[in-house]
Amino acid sequence: MLNPLHLFGILIVSCLMSVAILGSLMRTAVRGVGRWCAAYALLAVASLLVWLVGNRSNPAAIVGIAFIAFVAVALLVQGTREFLGVRAVRRDETGALVIAFVALVYVTWVAPNVQVRIALVSGVLAYGRIAVGTLTLRHAPRDGARYGYRFVTVAAYAGAVVHVARAVATLFGSVPPVTYFQPSPWSVLFLGLPIITLPCMSIGMAMLAHDQLVRRMEKLATIDELTGALMRRAFMTKASALHADAQAGGAPLSFAILDIDNFKAINDGFGHAVGDRTLAHFASVVAGRLRSSDLFGRIGGEEFAIVFVGTAKHDAQALTDALRLAVEESPAGAVRCTLSAGVAGIDPADTLEDAMARADAALYMAKAMGRNRVMAAPDVDGRSAVAPY
């Protein structure tokens, strides 16, 4: 029969491998990875102590190993919460773990009861698995890759089932109250299955961290860090997709280009730090008043663009003028800025580039007419004149 101590040797190696895998992600500053690493390191220490103690029934060693394991469980759950952006430490959870540990000390030293002790340890280990699995299942993103979250959930729940089964079977006398130290089919079963799922959890956690890094890189490539608006390339890509949808469905679509008036004077007079704050404030005011269906991007310097979905040119001009008024009435600290804008409708046979060029020409006309105004570009056939707002 396979000796459980050999399984603990495997467990030590798997925990150390988990520390190495997760530790390689420490420099990426992904939240929660530090706690995950510490948890697996403590589990490796606890497993090593079990391997050293062997079959000797030493109450002090049992309590010490249980304490390390309980702390590891807490760190594993807290790391998962931290990774998912949830408050890591919960007082009720900490209190429950403290109570469980005090109870374990009692049934180990004061009134020895192997069955209750096994149930307590298995219950805490099961709780850690259930908490991790539930958190990853509940907070899995609705878009993008969800495989890693499901992988962690399945691995965590599989291990939890084994621990719960051990606690229940021991309490109700279905299996003899053997410890992990004693070689028996039950100890091998109840130890072997969790060992399989534990490294699976760490691999899944590494997958989650990798997924977050990919999302972070995608965000850096598509979102302007200063203003929160889409960068030019991402904006044009999404605008082209909206244009194709509008052409297919026959829905109206309008394009607006917005430019902060005299922005160079703000930079020269107040400094680039104030200029950056002005840009961020401007983008915040505009983005906060757009509809969820509209597209907003920064296409260069102090120049921004909007695609108004399902909106004819006249209505888009009115919406843009409302944005102009909002910006004018919302000073960025000591700096009050205004905007000029050009608006163009996108006809079914029109190209996005042509509409953008017409909106740009209308913007320059708004600048020439004194700034702080919105101008509408003529239609492609020239039937409507440029009109100020």
192: confidence class by pLDDT, cuts 50, 70, 90 = low
276 in the same domain as 177: no
Whether residue 226 is contained in a domain is answered as: no
258 in the same domain as 178: no
326 in the same domain as 177: no
Query: What is the side-by-side strand order in the sheet with 253-260?
Result: 295-300, 303-309, 253-260, 339-345, 374-376, 387-388
Q: How many Å apart are CA 291 and CA 257, to the nearest integer?
A: 17
Residue reference for tokens 């008043």: 289
41 in the same domain as 112: yes
Q: How many Å apart are CA 370 and CA 324, to the nearest integer?
A: 14
* Last residue in a domain, options 221, 247, 269: 221
**pLDDT digit string (tens) for 50-70?**
878 766 678 899 899 999 999
Whether 186 has a pLDDT exceeding 70, the answer reads no
- pLDDT number for residue 81: 97
Tell which residue, 237, 322, 337, 238, has the closest CA to residue 288: 322
- The pTM of the full predicted model, rounded to 2 decimals, is 0.72
* Last residue in a domain, options 176, 197, 221: 221
- pLDDT number for residue 185: 62
Tell which residue, 261, 240, 237, has the closest CA to residue 335: 261
**pLDDT digit string (tens) for 83-113?**
999 999 999 999 999 999 999 999 999 999 9
- pLDDT number for residue 174: 65
Contacts of 127 (CB under 8 A, 6+ apart): 73
Whether 337 has a pLDDT exceeding 60, the answer reads yes
Q: How many Å apart are CA 17 and CA 43, to the nearest integer?
A: 12
Contacts of 345 (CB under 8 A, 6+ apart): 252, 253, 254, 255, 312, 313, 316, 355, 377, 379
Q: State how far Cα 138 lies from the chain centre.
A: 13
Whether 153 has a pLDDT exceeding 90, the answer reads yes
Q: How many Å apart are CA 104 and CA 202, to the nearest integer?
A: 27
Computed over every residue of the chain, the mean pLDDT equals 88
- DSSP 3-state assignment of 344? strand
Whether 9 has a pLDDT exceeding 80, the answer reads no
- pLDDT number for residue 190: 60
CATH number of the domain bearing residue 361: 3.30.70.270
Higher per-residue pLDDT: 84 or 167 = 84
- pLDDT number for residue 144: 64
- Give me the mean pLDDT over the 262-282 stretch: 92
Whether residue 227 is contained in a domain is answered as: no
Is residue 304 a contact partner of residue 258, using CB atoms and an 8 Å limit? yes
Number of helices (H), then strands (E), belonging to the chain: the values are 12, 6
Count up the domains in the chain and report the number: 2
- pLDDT number for residue 229: 95
* Last residue in a domain, options 180, 196, 221: 221
Is residue 240 a contact partner of residue 328, using CB atoms and an 8 Å limit? no
Contacts of 316 (CB under 8 A, 6+ apart): 254, 255, 256, 308, 343, 345
270 in the same domain as 204: no
Whether 178 has a pLDDT exceeding 80, the answer reads no
313 in the same domain as 193: no
14: confidence class by pLDDT, cuts 50, 70, 90 = confident
Rg (CA), the chain: 31
- pLDDT number for residue 182: 55
- Give me the mean pLDDT over the 225-244 stretch: 93
Whether 180 has a pLDDT exceeding 60, the answer reads no
- pLDDT number for residue 293: 93
Is residue 278 a contact partner of residue 260, using CB atoms and an 8 Å limit? yes
Whether 385 has a pLDDT exceeding 50, the answer reads no
Q: Could you list the residue range(s) of the whole structural domain that residue 304 is in?
A: 232-388
Q: How many CA atoms lie less than 13 Å away from 242 in the CB half-sphere?
A: 22
- Give me the mean pLDDT over the 18-37 stretch: 91
Is residue 240 a contact partner of residue 352, using CB atoms and an 8 Å limit? yes
331 in the same domain as 189: no
